[in-house]
Amino acid sequence: MDQEIEAAVLAKMIAEPWQEIVGPPKKKGNGGWLIPTKHVFATWPHDEIPHAHSVYVKREDDQYWAYCIYDIHGKLHYR
């Protein structure tokens, strides 16, 4: 990703860290999930994924992580 686009994505994430899920999560081959949000694909590292409404996205280790998932029952699930 080029630096200008990366900076724009980071600015949007700072302004809106809780992001709604915009499509179905996809299982990763090495375990975990990729969750499509409004601005990025966030990684959920666990094999099980709750029925999510939105995710709290953080950038760490050069990737975007679903740090916390807010499920449809109002429960928080942490990474």
| Amino acid (one-letter) located at 43 | T
Q: Which amino acid is at 30?
A: N
Q: What is the pLDDT of residues 40-50, one digit of tens each?
A: 899 999 999 99
**pLDDT digits 0-9 by tens, 10-67:** 777 777 889 999 999 999 998 999 999 988 899 999 999 999 899 999 988 888 999 9
Both tokens of 77, joined, read 């699930």
| Residue 15 backbone zone (phi > 0: left; psi -120 to 50: alpha; other: beta) | alpha
Angle at 68 between CA 65 and CA 70, to 5 degrees: 130
d(CA 30, CA 57): 20
Q: Could you give the CA distance from residue 27 to residue 33 in angstroms, rounded to a whole number?
A: 5
